[in-house]
Amino acid sequence: MVDVWLEVEAHQYTAALSPILFECLIHPMLGGATDQKVIDDNLVKIKNVLAVYEAHLSKSKYLAGDSLSLADLNHVSVTLCLAATPYASLFDAYPHVKAWWTDLLARPSVQKVAALMKP
């Protein structure tokens, strides 16, 4: 099950979030204009992905079951980047996803990673 969620993270979750992060964080740092159409198109994609996560996380605490695994931790860095964008509240519409993320953020190991990622 871990392998399945690692694939979902790479090919669905991060694939939808990366263009949003680029447009909100990287492009402005490079002096470029943000392309709202790219953001909007990928917001549709990530919302579809989050709907799948929401359904799954309504049945288990973590992605691969009731124990934390690499499947969960592999989402940390890209999701921490999302928090630095105007779309940080994206998870609010998905209560099980939000609870999962809040649980991950409460872990000391994730807090250490978050501290290292602050500008």
Q: What's the domain count of the chain? A: 1
Tell me the C-alpha to C-alpha distance, in Å, between residue 75 and each of 31, 43, 57: 28, 17, 14
**Gyration radius (Cα) of the chain, Å:** 14
Summarize the confidence of residues 49-61 as an average pLDDT: 99
pLDDT of amino acid 119: 64
Give the whole-number percent of the chain exceeding pLDDT 70. 99
Contact between residue 76 and residue 86 where contact means Cβ atoms under 8 Å apart: no
Tell me the C-alpha to C-alpha distance, in Å, between residue 80 and each of 37, 97, 114, 116: 23, 14, 7, 11
Summarize the confidence of residues 86-90 as an average pLDDT: 97
How far is residue 26's CA from residue 67's CA, in Å, rounded to a whole number? 34
pLDDT digits (tens, 9 = 90+) for 94-113: 999 999 999 999 999 999 99
Q: What CATH number corresponds to the domain at position 56?
A: 1.20.1050.10
How confident is the prediction for the chain on average, in pLDDT?
A: 97
The residues facing 76 across adjacent strands are none
pLDDT digits (tens, 9 = 90+) for 18-54: 999 999 999 999 999 999 999 999 999 999 999 999 9
Domain that holds residue 63: 2-117
Q: Classify residue 49 by its DSSP letter.
A: H
